[in-house]
Amino acid sequence: MTAAADKPRVVVITGAAGALGSALVSEFSVQGWRVAAGVRNQVSPLPQDNSIWTVPLDVTRSNQIDETFANVVQRWGSVDVLINNAGASADSTLADMSDAEFQDVLNVNLKGAFLCCRSALRPMLRQRDGHIVNISSFSGRAGARGQANYAAAKAGLFGLTTALAQEVGSRNIRVNAVLPGILSSRMTAGLNSGQMEAYARANALNRINSVEEVAKFVAFLVTMQNASGQVFQLDSRIGPWS
């Protein structure tokens, strides 16, 4: 990052109350960042100290997003990094999927990322510096039965990432996507041990990833100055080349 060495950098993390979100908040805080931890509900178990500020951030509400980013800039002077981590799923075979189940998942996973990117770009373009990380999914690359809505939304993040990277690269703003892999989280809480074991066996290393390792990678990625428009897969599932 090009921020002054004595000025703490500022990261906004959406979906901060979830398993990965909490790990991201913790990792960035430990590394000395100022963290705006975006949560949908006001009640949050996140710690509060001088470096962590829990902010209201429902990624489906455009006006609230604009207001929250403006408040972060007013309080801390900049937004150096945005991590679009908020996610939602509503699994069903497509024949049984309702209009609302399809649209709601797209609203959170894809449109929410678009809205947050738009708000974050206002200070980043003025700064001529910034990094956006979109948390996508292997489902967006390979699909998954019963996840047409989720796979479509996460695949859309690939297009959003690469298009935006080309738009803002001349302003020194990097945009990348990360595929964390299967994690122990609220989204996988309904899976039984056999299903989790099957996911582990689908990996060349026969194990799933951890939220702590993903958080460490993302914290490293945003310090990189020359990587943009890329998709980083963090587990050991081998996907098709095409």
Q: Which residues are catalytic?
A: 150
Question: Which residue is listed with tokens 């990965």?
Answer: 20
Question: Which residue is listed with tokens 């024949």?
Answer: 95
Q: Comparing C-alpha atoms, which of 18, 19, 62 is closest to residue 41?
A: 18
Structure tokens at 213: 């390792």
Structure tokens at 38: 């975006």
Q: Is the dihedral of CA 107, 111, 116, 118 positive or negative?
A: negative
Q: Comparing C-alpha atoms, which of 214, 6, 4 is closest to residue 129?
A: 4
User: What whole-number distance in Å separates Cα of residue 200 and Cα of residue 202?
Assistant: 5
Q: Are 129 and 1 contacting, i.e. CB atoms less than 8 angstroms apart?
A: yes
Q: What is the secondary structure of 137-189 as a DSSP string?
A: -HHHHH--TTBHHHHHHHHHHHHHHHHHHHHHGGGTEEEEEEE--S-SSGGGT
Q: Are 157 and 140 contacting, i.e. CB atoms less than 8 angstroms apart?
A: yes
Q: Is the dihedral of CA 153, 155, 159, 161 positive or negative?
A: positive
